[in-house]
Amino acid sequence: MIYSSTETWLIIILLGIGTFLIRFSFLGLIGNRSVPPHVLRHLRYTTVGVLPALITPMVSWPVETGGTTDPSRLAAAAAALATGYLTRNSIWAIIAGLVVLYAMLRIAV
């Protein structure tokens, strides 16, 4: 379906307002109140739950290879996982994965 320029901008603006309201409901309305300890404990695991869900399809079925598993991406994921486990630092895990992926893709070419 093709939208006109006006419809496209209207959709963008409405989605922006919607996401603002969702964030404001948490940050603006309860941002200055204390949060119970059990809620804070659960929020600590948000990153652990979201990042693998975002990364797994890109490692298992990458679009770049036509949906077939690629050894370069598997090695990068393993390096990121090992680095994250050993250092407990997300940034170092991401950097390790990037370095290994870049090196493996350069070797394969």
| pLDDT score at 109 | 66
Q: Which domain holds residue 9?
A: 1-33
If asked whether residues 42 and 22 sit together in one domain, one would say no
> What would the two tokens of residue 63 be?
């679009």
If asked whether residues 21 and 52 sit together in one domain, one would say no
Domain count, the chain: 2
Distance CA(2)–CA(44), nearest Å, equals 41
The residue type of 84 is G
If asked whether residues 7 and 47 sit together in one domain, one would say no
**pLDDT profile of the chain (109 residues), mean per 10:** 92 96 82 82 85 88 87 94 94 95 88
CB 23 within 8 A of CB 15: no
If asked whether residues 54 and 79 sit together in one domain, one would say yes
| pLDDT score at 40 | 84
If asked whether residues 23 and 42 sit together in one domain, one would say no
| pLDDT score at 72 | 92
Residue 30 sits at the vertex; the CA angle it makes with 28 and 36, to the nearest 5 degrees, is: 150
* Count of CA atoms in the C-beta half-sphere (13 A) of 93: 17
pTM of the model: 0.61
| pLDDT score at 11 | 96
